[in-house]
Amino acid sequence: MPLEEKKKSRLYSLKPLTDRLPAVTRPEGHVHFRTKMFWVLAILILYFAMTNIFIYGLDQGNVIDFFSSLRAILAGAQGSLMHLGIGPIVTASIIMQLFAGAKIINLDLQDDEDKSVYQGTQKFLVIVMIFVEAIPQVFGFLTPSSTFVTHLNGSFLFGVVSPGHGDLLAKLLIVVQLFAGSYLVFLMDEVVSKWGIGSGISLFIAGGVAQQIFTGTFNWEPSRAGSPVPAGTIPKTVWYLQNYPGARLASGGIEQIMVQPPNPLIALIGTVAIFLLVAYVESTRIELPLAHGMARGARGRYPIRLMYASNIPVILVAAVLANVSMFSLLFWQHPEWPVLGHASWLGAYPEATDIRVTSGQIQRTTPIGGLAYYFSNVNGVQDWLLPLFNPSTYGVYLRGLAYWQVLLHIVVFLAVFIGGSVMFAKFWIMTTNMGPEDVARQIESSGMQIPGFRRDPRILRRVLDRYIPVVAVISGASVGALAAGADMIGTVGNASGTGVLLSVGIMIQLYEAIGREQMMEMHPVLRQFFGATG
């Protein structure tokens, strides 16, 4: 009897729509190394340009940026076309991975047609998530300038918005700009992944973090208006050494240099320590010996890194926390909404007139209670350690909470980062051809085998089953612990410890990817082993 035809997923009904969405075509042949490097550099320059193009008609002085602590991870810039950053892309990826991992969607990612439907659906979901993240922000946190609204009050938009509705029209135009910027970011990511080297998302994160660290270290502008003290770590240290006498420096100047935000010296030391630690962990790996089944003497090794799932799990966890922050702040600002509106148990935030906000000690997007507080980032030692030793000076960073609540915040924060990273690491290897079965198939198709074992993908899979699932869990836990620990130490430029961790890993992987591309350029026969299609 013929085998029963596999039932197709309902997502195939979206195929006529997803096939018509703008997309970047794949190269038909091999793309030369110089061409790939050109596209990587061109897209990086375009990214920096977009972070400096501000949204037209936005009141720049009245922007509530609840992604401020996650800017480095989401690769965005407040009030610019990159305001949403990679948030919609990462959120759509999380949803699709969860659905695929839980077998909610009936798609076989090993089948080319099913994989095409999966990618098309994810592209459609990115568009949905752009509006899901843009509309609440524009109608809750991004205020149009009064002059822009006044100018639009006399306009008429296609018979839909009548004169006198300038505020609504201004907000709609801001949503359109956010959509254009976010979808352009999605296309830029496709250009890098198809025509360049590595991932566009990773490239944007590394570029944004590098910019923040540079400005946080060398910025000579004052940290606050009217203050003579520079904001950057090195200029601030030099200023204190030049302007404070020895006795005064010993009594309080050293403390201000070492631990007082912004950009204390301990943050620069922590940034360097994180860089060295991640570089060491990235080099830790298990290497399986391989031998060619036909060519006697041809041997190699298959490396299974300790950071096997890379930095993707931390990016996904950060995106989840960012969305929790966004919606809790949205509910807090709308007390008229039933049940969740202005609910302190969900998340409480300071008012604009709060002395802590006006003095610059905390921001309006900083949760001061509720579940949002416990799921928020720990930003440096001033959030948990300094108030314990010097409550009179740093007690404001406790946000009016008891110290047991601060300890509970740390426990929840660590549990979410580590547990979430482990979960996403397992989903990631399942959906990206990094599982034991997929790796066994890749090794077998290249003609290699493990010495002492028959050349059989099933046997090879059993061997890899001993390592890959365990290493994936360790990888997720390690990267989550490193990211959370780095956040607790703090970094210069408010890049967040997670951002520094990600950028170091990204730069190391980009360096290795460039090395592989150069090697394949010189030895084309290696392309098959590395899985290149060109």
For the cut 50, the answer to whether the pLDDT of residue 45 exceeds it is: yes
Q: Does residue 251 lie within any of the structural domains?
A: no
Q: In this structure, is residue 240 part of a structural domain?
A: no
Residue 296 has a pLDDT of: 61
Q: How many residues does the chain have?
A: 534
Q: How far apart are CA 124 and CA 396, in angstroms?
A: 44
Inter-residue contact 134 to 87 (CB < 8 Å): no
The two structure tokens encoding residue 263: 């950009």
pLDDT tens per residue across span 442-460: 777 777 777 766 667 778 8
With a cut of 90, say whether residue 333 has pLDDT above it: no
Q: Which domain holds residue 413?
A: 31-219+263-530
161 CA to centre of own chain: 37
Q: How many CA atoms lie within 13 A of 270 on its CB side?
A: 32
Could you tell me if residue 254 is inside a domain?
A: no
DSSP 8-state assignment for residue 221: S
Half-sphere exposure of 8 (CA within 13 A, CB side): 11
The string of DSSP codes covering 141-180 is TEEEPHHHHHHHTT--BTTTB-TT-HHHHHHHHHHHHHHH
Does residue 194 belong to any structural domain of this protein? yes
Residues 6+ apart with CB under 8 A from 412: 374, 375
Domain-located, residue 230: no
Is residue 6 in some structural domain?
Answer: no
Q: Is 280 exposed, middle or buried (0-12, 13-18, 19+ CB in 10 A)?
A: exposed
The pLDDT value given to residue 341: 87
Name which residue leads in pLDDT, 200 or 166: 200
What is the crossing angle of helices 403-431 and 312-332, to 10°? Answer: 130
What does pTM read for this prediction? 0.76
Q: Which of 370, 327, 374 is nearest to 349 (CA)?
A: 370
271: its two tokens: 């940034």
Report pLDDT digits (tens) over 165-185: 778 888 999 999 999 999 999
The total of other beta-carbon atoms located within 10 Å of residue 321's CB is: 21
* pLDDT of 5: 47
Which residue, chain included where needed, has tokens 């390592």? Answer: 467
pLDDT at 322 over 70: yes
Q: What is the mean pLDDT of the chain?
A: 82
Q: What is the pLDDT of residues 116-139, one digit of tens each?
A: 888 889 999 999 999 998 998 888
* pLDDT, average across residues 86-108: 81
- The CATH number of the domain where 431 resides is what? 1.10.3370.10
Give the lowest-confidence range in 85-89, 169-173, 303-307.
303-307
Q: What span, in angstroms and rounded, lies between the C-alpha atoms of 110 and 438? A: 9
Domains contained in the chain, number: 1
Distant-in-sequence, close-in-space partners of 360: CB < 8 Å, separation ≥ 6 = 224
Provide the pLDDT for residue 444: 77
Let me know if residue 5 belongs to a domain.
Answer: no
The yes-or-no verdict on residue 533 having pLDDT over 50 is: no
Residue 431 near residue 493 (C-beta atoms within 8 A): no
Helices 33-51 and 497-522: crossing angle in degrees, nearest 10, is: 160
Query: Which pLDDT score is estimated for 37?
Result: 92
What's the Cα-to-Cα distance from 217 to each of 232, 235, 264, 493, rounded to whole Å? 5, 8, 9, 7
Judged against a pLDDT cut of 60, whether residue 532 lies above it is answered with no
- Higher local confidence (pLDDT), 218 or 358: 218
Longest dimension (CA), the chain: 93
Residue 93 reports pLDDT greater than 90? no
**pLDDT digits over 135-167, tens only?**
988 887 788 888 888 877 765 554 554 455 778
What is the reported pLDDT for 524? Answer: 61
**Which of 75-84, 288-297, 447-456 has maximum average pLDDT?**
75-84
* Interval 401-416: pLDDT, tens: 888 999 999 999 999 9
| CA–CA separation, 206 and 86 (whole Å) | 13
Q: Is residue 15 part of a domain?
A: no
